[in-house]
Chains A and B, each alone.
Chain A
Amino acid sequence: MSILTALARAEAVESGRAQPLTTVRHTHVAERPLVLVPLSLAGEAAAPLAAIVGTDPGEPRLLVVANPRDRTQRFDFVAELARVVLSYVDGCARSVDTGAGGTKLRYAEAPQVIVPNRGGVEFVRLLGRSTRFRRPFGPYPVHRTVPILGQWLTFLRERADHPGSSMLLAMTSVLSEHWATGQSGLEDANLAALLGWIDPPGDLDGAGAAALAEDPLRSPPAGPSTDPTFDNEILAPALAAVARSIDDFARERALAALTAAVADQMRPTWDLTWQAVRLLRTRPAGASVETRWAMDRDVFTMYHMALAEGTALPQPRRDSAVAAAGRLDRLEREQARYDAQRALDDPLVMAEFRLSGEAFTGTVVAASPNRVDTSGKKAALRPHITVQTDDPVRLEPGAHLVSPARLAQQATVVSVSSVDVVLELSKGMGRSTKQPAPGSVPEVGDRVTYGPVTDAYQPPGRFPSRDDTPWTHGGPPPVIEYHASDNDAVEDWS
């Protein structure tokens, strides 16, 4: 949050429509994403009740558990879901990206699983956790695809923590990164309300559409939690009818009624999620979206091959302390790179950095393009430019910057005054050591923007010191050395 997004929310209230927070789309939208709308049974840790899943908005696959507390039926459901998900995942590994340079193999596609909200991501985590340790042999054997599904869900869930990864997306989060609504962030967690502000149906305004979206009768919750009234008045009798049915005929009928009831709950969310996919596609993609997606495909390629060769690293219940710290550090750096990349792709994101004084836009008022630095062993071309700006610059001499218009060129702050910034430029000026290539150095009168470098940039003090916090207060779980054991496979799931 910042004053920019806060102002956008205020504008949204006034105009009755969500306001853009970006000028481009920063999330990759796959050609064939897999949309998954899960429902779980209230009160249970991870008891799937039903799911709609598929890659075609017109062909939703509906899966229902007739008795969510029954172990066998639960695993039947998981095996069915596995069939859909695994065939999708394998389908992404069918062709190789021939354009990829180097010797590295990269698949042309990667899976992109889209769930409606953060709860859907948590569902993926729990379902992955509760299935990846199962085994197709021994006591309580499961279908052989069940643990494989668990591994993939765990893989996807892990990727979702990586800033800029698009393999598992919560639609509400993607939309919230791109639009500001006239309601609170808390209310934005409701997909129907959020989308109501962005793309209201008919001649409603955002507030009107959001109000409709809050009525669970008109707009069932996007899951995985169901509406309590639905639970008490429709689901409970429908489940009871299935349990009670005395013959195949009665059971068939009761099952059909149950299926219709849960389908009614999920179908609107399925449609909304696809509506959001279409909406995102209408926005032009940012320049670095493809680079990040290529990274996703690399990671996918490696994991897919490792699984096939049996060399995939185990997915322990808990990370060791060292692994956890390393991971956090990596995520931090990825976040910084993601922020910087988006800023370079999108002036409205750059505006956030301009507000905080880490970037600025201005006009070149002086330039010495042929300046040569002779202090080193070899003389080097190091032009200086002076940029006049009204922005509240908060940069120190020596800071490294880059301009969205000249990504290959490095700029170093020489001095900052209240009205201008002097920059020293290196790289991206052609081969000559005496004269920069035409157009490679900004000229007097040019309007230029300089902002954080994608790799060197580190946001200050964002590192959460969670290590001393017990899990009951939001800290990490206690660390226990993990050794995979056969006991994991027979873990209860009741």
Chain B
Amino acid sequence: MDPLVDRLDRIRGTVAPRNHNARTIAALTSNPGCGRRGLMDAAGVNKGAVAGQLGFPAGFGQSRFAIARGNAFEAQVKADGAAELLQLLRDRLGLAIPEVAYDDLSNVGGNASREVRYARTKALLARAASERDDAGTLFDHPMLRLEIAGYYAYLEPDLIAFRAGGKFHVVEIKSFAVIDGQADPGKTAAAATQSAVYVMAMRELLAELGHPPESVSHDVVLVCPENFANRPTATLVDVRKQLTVLRRQLSRLTRLESILDALPAGLSFDLAYDSDQQATRPADELRKAVSTIDARYSPDCLGTCEMAFFCRDESAGSTSALGRSVRDDLGGVESIGTVLGLARGTLTPGAGQEEIAGLLRFAHKLRTECLDGIG
């Protein structure tokens, strides 16, 4: 067995690795500098469970109204052989799509394993790719996979892939509204990153068949409801930038050896589940294990990582807990105590700190001067 995989297995402990999906893979790109997260994700550790056991449960709930709305919109777009979608692709994007068939790849009969479904996706896409003309099929629910640190992460996207003009395109359906041509920038960015994960996985699949990366377009089709109605609209989104970030981050994950070498041999995040599925690992022991790996907390973690409340607590007293821009404004000085010491002149600046110390003293003087006598 691959020694890296073996090591990661031991770190994770007795439970099966947590499955990745496009959202979790996309999240890998949100704090690429964090070794703690990189390791936990590579090992497939259930970060939510670990955070809970540490006494810092994460609050990543989803409203059932949002879920229901998302499902309903997707069902509508895909109804009748994706009739609405087809019309959009033709009318709005001007894609010359011939008469098409609709093939739902999740129907393989019985409860086929992910590997079987992946093989079927591959076979069908291979056929489509080898035809000279566009095959004229919308493939729904393809099973894709990406290699994440030695493991294959299977992805079951709610997406449709089709070929037009000799290229495959990825269609992502999202239920946030585009109103008068504008959508929530945060949600749009998240959708673009997730789509990039799919483009990448499709490219890997086609690469196995000997097709070049360009056979999958970097323009993905984002389908959202338009204005306040349920009518869908389609937009092409260029995800080249997201692909670059993603590629860099995934390649980092496979270079974990250096992080691993520095860790104590017996390190494990095993939660030691008993027969009642209760975690029995003592919290302080787990805390010690987690703390051996350096983290890089920033407030953005609160929206992207299940470990955030723990890491925030751990980084109390550091300038990065106040946000990257605050830390930058403070010249990158790590500790709040140091900042205040330098500002008040009670600390002598270390090498390289002279300039920021001067600015801090000036800022401190200004604040004191202005606030003197004001309550």
**Footprint of B on A, CB under 8 Å?**
1-11, 13-14, 20, 23, 41-46, 126, 129-130, 182-187, 216, 226-229, 231-232, 235-236, 317-318, 347-348, 351, 354-355, 392, 470-474, 477-478, 480, 491-494
B residues in contact with A491, CB < 8 Å = 227-229
B residues in contact with A351, CB < 8 Å = 363, 366-367, 369-370
B residues in contact with A184, CB < 8 Å = 299, 321-323, 326
A-B contact pairs, 29 of them (CB 8 A): A3-B329, A3-B359, A5-B329, A6-B322, A10-B343, A11-B340, A20-B374, A41-B65, A43-B70, A45-B176, A45-B227, A45-B228, A126-B179, A129-B179, A182-B322, A184-B299, A185-B323, A185-B326, A187-B299, A236-B64, A317-B180, A348-B367, A351-B370, A470-B238, A471-B183, A474-B185, A492-B227, A493-B229, A494-B230
Binds A, one of B19-27, B55-63, B135-143: B55-63
Residues B360 and A42 in contact, CB atoms below 8 Å apart: no
Residues B360 and A7 in contact, CB atoms below 8 Å apart: yes
Task: Compute how far the CA of A347 lies from the CA of B69 in the bound complex, rounded to whole angstroms.
Answer: 52
The one of B62, B319, B329, B369 in contact with A2, judged by C-beta atoms closer than 8 angstroms, is B329
Smallest CB-CB separation from A479: which chain B residue? B181
B residues in contact with A46, CB < 8 Å = 177, 228
Number of interface residues of B (CB under 8 A): 61
B residues in contact with A183, CB < 8 Å = 299, 321-322
The DSSP consensus for interface residues of chain B is: helix
Task: Compute how far the CA of A6 lies from the CA of B188 in the bound complex, rounded to whole angstroms.
Answer: 30
A residues in contact with B299, CB < 8 Å = 183-187
The one of A5, A182, A354, A477 in contact with B180, judged by C-beta atoms closer than 8 angstroms, is A477
- Nearest Cβ in chain B — how far from A278, in angstroms? 16
**Footprint of A on B, CB under 8 Å?**
59, 61-70, 175-177, 179-183, 185, 188, 192, 222, 225, 227-231, 235, 237-238, 299-300, 302-303, 317, 319, 321-323, 325-326, 329-330, 336-337, 339-340, 343, 359-360, 362-364, 366-367, 369-371, 374
Task: Compute how far the CA of A8 lies from the CA of B67 in the bound complex, rounded to whole angstroms.
Answer: 41
Given A2-B329, A4-B367, A10-B330, the answer on whether A494 and B222 have CB atoms closer than 8 Å is: no
Task: Compute how far the CA of A355 lies from the CA of B366 in the bound complex, rounded to whole angstroms.
Answer: 9
Task: Compute how far the CA of A354 lies from the CA of B362 in the bound complex, rounded to whole angstroms.
Answer: 10
B residues in contact with A5, CB < 8 Å = 326, 329
A residues in contact with B329, CB < 8 Å = 1-3, 5-6
B residues in contact with A236, CB < 8 Å = 64-65
Task: Compute how far the CA of A129 lies from the CA of B180 in the bound complex, rounded to whole angstroms.
Answer: 9
Nearest 8 CB-CB pairings of A with B: A477-B181, A492-B229, A43-B69, A228-B61, A45-B177, A43-B66, A42-B63, A184-B299
- Nearest Cβ in chain A — how far from B320, in angstroms? 9
Task: Compute how far the CA of A130 lies from the CA of B336 in the bound complex, rounded to whole angstroms.
Answer: 47
A residues in contact with B175, CB < 8 Å = 43
Smallest CB-CB separation from B185: which chain A residue? A474
Smallest CB-CB separation from B180: which chain A residue? A317
B residues in contact with A492, CB < 8 Å = 227-231
Residues A14 and B336 in contact, CB atoms below 8 Å apart: yes
- Nearest Cβ in chain B — how far from A397, in angstroms? 24
Task: Compute how far the CA of A354 lies from the CA of B323 in the bound complex, rounded to whole angstroms.
Answer: 24
A residues in contact with B330, CB < 8 Å = 3, 6-7, 10
A residues in contact with B67, CB < 8 Å = 43
Given A226-B63, A491-B228, A493-B228, the answer on whether A14 and B322 have CB atoms closer than 8 Å is: no
- Nearest Cβ in chain B — how far from A104, in angstroms? 34
A residues in contact with B177, CB < 8 Å = 45-46
Residues A45 and B322 in contact, CB atoms below 8 Å apart: no
Task: Compute how far the CA of A295 lies from the CA of B206 in the bound complex, rounded to whole angstroms.
Answer: 62
Task: Compute how far the CA of A492 lies from the CA of B302 in the bound complex, rounded to whole angstroms.
Answer: 36
B residues in contact with A20, CB < 8 Å = 371, 374
Task: Compute how far the CA of A130 lies from the CA of B359 in the bound complex, rounded to whole angstroms.
Answer: 50
Between A2, A5, A13, A472, the greatest number of chain B beta carbons within 10 A of the residue's beta carbon is seen for: A472
A residues in contact with B65, CB < 8 Å = 41-44, 231, 235-236
The one of B182, B303, B326, B363 in contact with A355, judged by C-beta atoms closer than 8 angstroms, is B363
Given A126-B179, A186-B300, A355-B363, the answer on whether A348 and B229 have CB atoms closer than 8 Å is: no
A residues in contact with B63, CB < 8 Å = 42-43, 226, 228, 231-232
- Nearest Cβ in chain B — how far from A360, in angstroms? 11
Between A1, A3, A480, the greatest number of chain B beta carbons within 10 A of the residue's beta carbon is seen for: A3
Residues B325 and A1 in contact, CB atoms below 8 Å apart: yes
- Nearest Cβ in chain A — how far from B33, in angstroms? 17
Smallest CB-CB separation from B70: which chain A residue? A43
Residues A478 and B343 in contact, CB atoms below 8 Å apart: no
